[in-house]
Chains A and B, each alone.
Chain A
Amino acid sequence: MRTEDLIKALDADASSKAMPLRSAWWLAAGAAVIIAAVVFLLTIGPRPDFMIAAHTMRFLSKFVFTIVLAISAFALIRALSTPGASTGRAMAGMIAAPLLVAVAVVLELFMVPEALWGTRMVGSNMMICMGFIPLIGIGPLAIFLWMLRYGAPTRPVLAGAVAGLLAGGLAATFYAAHCFDDSPLFVATWYTIAIAALAVLGALGGRFFVRW
């Protein structure tokens, strides 16, 4: 087929419509939040003393970390799924969540006696944490990978990993409402491992599933 002929075919298909990627991302984000919420509420649900805990800094700080991670990953994944979009600023934004966690860890180390560091870090919930963050995040991850297919990421593996971070940030936000371990030492260790697992899964999805 000559290129001229191909152009005729493409032109004849000009009227076919697809939702703009930007709007589709917001729709996907909404669907992912709903799925994560449903899985969370049907399985572990919020901790019984949620309202009381909401008055403590440590409890609230968990949401700051996870929501900042989700927002920065959402900004980056939208840029990564658009060819030619600049990703520099969104990429720099990904430092925010780890930085906040690092600051909180340092503060915690100052405030808590050294003898308690170990117990704070190990906590009481780490297996649940490492099980349920991926479980809540897997549905959203599938949606985000599907969205990457709908988009046009020129770096599919990286975009897939960011899809995992986004799913992880979202899942961890819900999980944080259940978890009794509020110490930044716990969050920095186990949340990170659980979210990293989703990022690895996302990168694999990007490698093998996101082709265009």
Chain B
Amino acid sequence: MSGKDEAELSRLLRAAIAGDERAYADFLHRIAALVRGFVRRKIVQGGVDPEDVVQETLLAIHVKRHTWRQDAPVLPWIYAIARFKLIDAFRRRGRRIEIDVDDIAETFAEPEPETVSERDINRALDGLSPAQRSVVSAVSVEGRSIGETAAKFGITETAVRVSLHRGLAAIAKRFGRE
């Protein structure tokens, strides 16, 4: 299973980096499910909401996708980021955990669906500038396209893209700092 996953995921991410949005959406959905399975297996004693870690990992993968070498396998890269974000989530809540490095490559997580609750990312959203917050909410929660968002706020598409990009980067940075 992991061999097929690996080939498919690296193909999708390569296409995404080359500018294929549909491939990127597909990639993100797949890794969200993989990371969710991984994180849920690792969080056994509670205190950390697995979905928060999933979201932080997705954000980190997004803002750090230039660190993936396109000729290297993508799964070790994804799991290294997920592990880092998981440890970080525990650290922020004042807990220490040891995560076994070796079992990751072997026991790949089963993809799992999301559970719904209040998210850390909502609190992070509150830290954005009003313009960034409204653009990020429009594109995410309201599900608008870049064009629709531009029309809604009466600004250019470029301005929407800039606000979106800076807003996401700011949220990712905030998770790293806390």
The answer to whether the Cβ of B62 comes within 8 Å of any Cβ in the partner chain is yes
Task: Please give, as numbers and ranges, the residues of chain B lying within 8 Å of A24 by CB-CB distance.
Answer: 66
Task: List chain B residues, Cβ under 8 A from A11.
Answer: 21, 24-25, 28
A1-36 interface (Cβ within 8 A of B): 1-16, 18-22, 24
Q: How many residues of B contact A (CB 8 A)?
A: 56
Assembled-state Cα–Cα distance A195/B149 (Å): 53
Q: Is A154 an interface residue (CB 8 A)?
A: yes
From residue 23 to 59 of chain B, which have CB atoms closer than 8 A to chain A? Answer: 24-25, 28-29, 32, 36, 51, 54-55, 58-59
Residues of B within 8 A of A18 (CB): 65-66
Q: How far is the CB of B96 from chain A (nearest CB, A)?
A: 15
Interface assignment of A82: CB less than 8 Å from any CB of chain B: yes
Q: Main SS of the interface on chain B?
A: helix
Tell me the complex Cα distance, A43–B72, Å.
Answer: 43
Cα–Cα, bound, A84→B69 (Å)? 11
CA distance A7 to B31 in the complex (A): 11
Say what secondary structure dominates the interface of chain A: loop
B170 in the interface (beta carbon within 8 A):
no
State how many angstroms separate the Cβ of A3 from the closest Cβ of chain B.
5
Least CB distance from A25 to B in Å reads 10
Within 8 A of A (CB), among B148-169: 161, 164-165, 168
A14 with B21: CB separation less than 8 A? yes
Q: Which residues of A contact B62 (CB under 8 A)?
A: 10, 13
Q: Which of B78-109 contact A (CB under 8 A)?
A: 78-81, 83-84
Residues from chain A with Cβ under 8 Å of B24 in the complex: 10-11, 14
- A21: chain B residues within 8 A (beta carbon): 66-67, 69
Which of A6, A16, A22, A152 sits near B55, CB closer than 8 Å? A6
Q: List the 4 closest A-B pairs by CB distance, nearest first.
A: A84-B76, A83-B80, A84-B80, A9-B140
New contact pairs (8) apart from A82-B77, A212-B172, CB-CB < 8 Å: A6-B140, A7-B32, A11-B28, A12-B139, A12-B164, A20-B66, A84-B75, A152-B64
